[in-house]
Copies of this chain bind each other. A is one copy, B any other.
Amino acid sequence: MNLYDYGASSAAFRVRIALNLKRADYTRIPVNLLEGAQRTSSYRATNPQGLVPTLEVDDGKLLFQSLAICEYLDEVIPEPRLLPTDSLGRARVRALALMIAADIHPLNNLRVRNYLTDQLEITEEARLSWIQHWIAEGFSAFEAHLASAETGNFCHGNTPGLADICLVPQVFNARRFECDLSSWPKLVEIADHCCALDAFADAAP
């Protein structure tokens, strides 16, 4: 498999963790977002959104969107499982994953940060407040969900899964953007616990 990838991309980071957990062989094809490689017509022919990651599977088929890619990997390489076996547990893990992948990350990724600066011409201070605001909104809800008895050493029980795969890159991002994480001790504890595993550490930017 080939992963169209960029080190600092949270979405690509998620897929790297999933591939590592599944012990899948893959080749990283760098797409330098800071140089605009994602906006070239050649990359748009690969991924019309001009985003990373894209996963090219062995028959040349292209897969998009990090959560869809992780679900695919979980179907074709069943062990270790990224989702619980029960439907209610699967719903909980998917919801936790989406709280980050839909409701935090898309508001703070590179294209949005660029729009805030280039089109809306807001100050660097206002931009940092924007980033920190959406992380705080999302992490406060995420921390509340982690009070559930279903939480273990990881977001759901005692094995890493899809929610952890989304959490770790977002915590990485939050630190990069100087968020004070002290209000969310459980999620930080889980993220740090994940980072002790090679599958997470080796995927880091």
Complex CA gap A87/B76 in Å reads: 7
Of A16-24, A25-33, A59-67, which binds chain B?
A59-67
Given contacts A49-B103, A65-B102, contact A115 B130 (CB under 8 A): yes
Per a CB cutoff under 8 Å, which of B49, B76, B98, B129 touches A141? B49
Contact in complex: B106, A102 (CB < 8 Å): yes
Q: In whole angstroms, what is the CA distance A129 to B137 when docked?
A: 25
Known: A112-B107, A144-B48. A65 touches B120 (CB 8 A): no
> Which residues of B sit under 8 angstroms from A63, Cβ to Cβ?
88, 91-92, 95
Contact B99 A101 (CB under 8 A): no
Number of copies of chain A assembled together: 2
Docked pose: A51 CA to B65 CA in angstroms = 23
Q: Flag if A65 contacts B107 (CB, 8 Å).
A: no
Please provide the chain A residues from 108 to 126 with a CB less than 8 Å away from any CB of chain B in the complex.
Answer: 111-112, 115, 119-120, 122, 126
**Does A68 touch B at the CB level, under 8 Å?**
yes
Chain B residue nearest in CB terms to A133: B115
Q: Answer whether residue A69 sits at the interface, using C-beta atoms and an 8 A cutoff.
A: yes
Contact A67 B94 (CB under 8 A): yes
3 shortest interchain CB distances as A-B pairs:
A68-B94, A48-B144, A65-B95
